[in-house]
């Protein structure tokens, strides 16, 4: 089984995000960068499938030089090799352009299965993985919490509102990992040592035959005009006292008469 995992490096979810002086980007200096949490589930699932069936797990990621740390983390978890698309011209690409670049890279990587996180927690677009599937002409199954492969068929349990749907498709397939799929392993010390020797190819857009004029911030279809802090809330009203019944009564009164939601 040839498995490719799409991985993105993102700011840690405990990070404080601050808007940069240009008003359309964020300050990146003091951020801690990690593997997108949903991609950890994707890597873990790929490793489990390979452990059961044999094959290769390839990590594919696009981003600046520091992205290599995240690819190495996946290699340290046990993935076999990495492909890093590192090209200044690709920086700031929107999800459609990103998906086109990843799809171009996937022309040179054999795959039966592509796994990605169900969303990246920076852009929150939920978009790159389905677009990659579209550009490759393969089916997508999003928000998967369980999968079983038998022969050339994959059966996925997909989260839907109020329950799950069980979806089946013939490989090749792209599915996206939702929380609940598995518990990702930590990289072991021997894993980290081994990762340093694993193959990691670096590609530019030219290597992939992608026109730089379709990528990067300047060529976004979805243009960020402004970033703003979330709307500020009014100052909190503390319900005083230490008698729970009196506090509860006061709270319900406020919710009823002042906030008018009960």
Partner 1 sequence: MAQGIFVITEQREGTFRKVSFEALSEGRRLADAKNVPLVAVLCGSGLEALAGDLEKYGPDLILVADDPALAEYTTDAFTNVIAEAVKAQDPELIIIGASITGKDLSARLAARLDAGLAMDCVGVRLDGGDFVFTRPMYGGKVVADVTIDGTPKIAALRPNVMTITEAPRSAAVEKLAVQVGDVKTTVVERKLEATDKVELTEADIIVSGGRGTAGDFSVLEDLANTLGGAVGASRTAVDEGWRPHSDQVGQTGKVVSPNLYVACGISGAIQHLAGMSTSKVIVAINKDPEAPIFSKADYGIVGDLFKVVPAVTEEVKKLK
Residues 184-223 interacting with partner 1 (rule: CB under 8 A): 220-223
Phi, psi of 129, rounded to the nearest 5 degrees: -65, -50
**Alpha-carbon separation of residue 3 from 166, 230, 237 (angstroms):** 21, 39, 53
By C-beta, is 75 or 131 nearer to partner 1?
A: 131
- Location of structure tokens 């008698």: 243
Stretch that binds partner 1, among 69-77, 85-93, 191-199, 241-249 (CB under 8 A): 241-249
Residue span binding partner 1 (CB under 8 A) among the ranges 61-69, 192-200, 205-213, 226-234:
226-234
Backbone angles phi, psi at 35, to 5 degrees: -70, 135
**Mapping DSSP to helix (H, G, I), strand (E, B) and coil, where does residue 193 land?**
helix
Least distance CB 169 / partner 1 (angstroms): 4
Residue closer to partner 1, measured from CB, 196 or 256 = 256
Task: Name which of residues 96 to 155 contact partner 1 (CB under 8 A).
Answer: 96, 99, 121-127, 129-131, 133-135, 138-143, 145, 155
Helix axes 37-53, 67-77, angle to 10 degrees: 40
Which CB contacts under 8 angstroms, 24+ apart, belong to 152-159? 154/113
Q: What residues numbered 84-103 form the site for partner 1, per CB under 8 A? A: 94-96, 99
Position among 1, 2, 37, 192 found at the interface with partner 1 (CB under 8 A): 37
At closest approach, how far in Å is the CB of 190 from partner 1? 27
């Amino acid at each position: 089984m040839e498995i490719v995992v799409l991985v993105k490096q993102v700011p840690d979810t405990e990070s404080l995000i601050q808007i940069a002086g240009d008003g359309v980007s964020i300050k990146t200096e003091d951020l801690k960068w990690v593997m997108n949490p949903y991609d950890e589930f994707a890597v873990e699932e790929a490793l489990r499938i390979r452990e059961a069936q044999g094959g290769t797990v390839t990590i594919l990621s696009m981003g600046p030089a520091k992205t290599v740390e995240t690819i190495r983390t996946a290699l340290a978890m046990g993935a076999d090799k990495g492909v890093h698309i590192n090209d200044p011209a690709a920086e700031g690409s929107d999800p459609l352009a990103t998906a086109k670049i990843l799809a171009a890279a996937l022309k040179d990587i054999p795959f039966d299965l592509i796994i990605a996180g169900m969303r990246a927690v920076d852009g929150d677009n939920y978009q790159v993985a389905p677009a990659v599937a579209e550009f490759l002409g393969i089916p997508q199954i999003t928000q998967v919490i369980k999968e079983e492969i038998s022969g050339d068929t994959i059966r996925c349990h997909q989260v839907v509102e109020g329950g799950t749907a069980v979806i089946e498709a013939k490989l090749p397939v792209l599915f996206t990992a939702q929380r609940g799929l598995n518990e990702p392993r930590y990289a072991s010390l021997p894993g980290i040592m081994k990762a340093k020797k694993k193959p990691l190819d670096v590609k530019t857009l030219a290597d992939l035959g992608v026109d730089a004029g379709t990528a990067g911030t300047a060529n976004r279809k979805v243009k960020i005009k402004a970033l703003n802090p979330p709307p500020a809330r009014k100052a909190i009203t503390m319900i005083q006292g230490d008698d729970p019944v009196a506090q509860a009564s006061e709270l319900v009164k406020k919710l009823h008469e002042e906030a008018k939601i009960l």
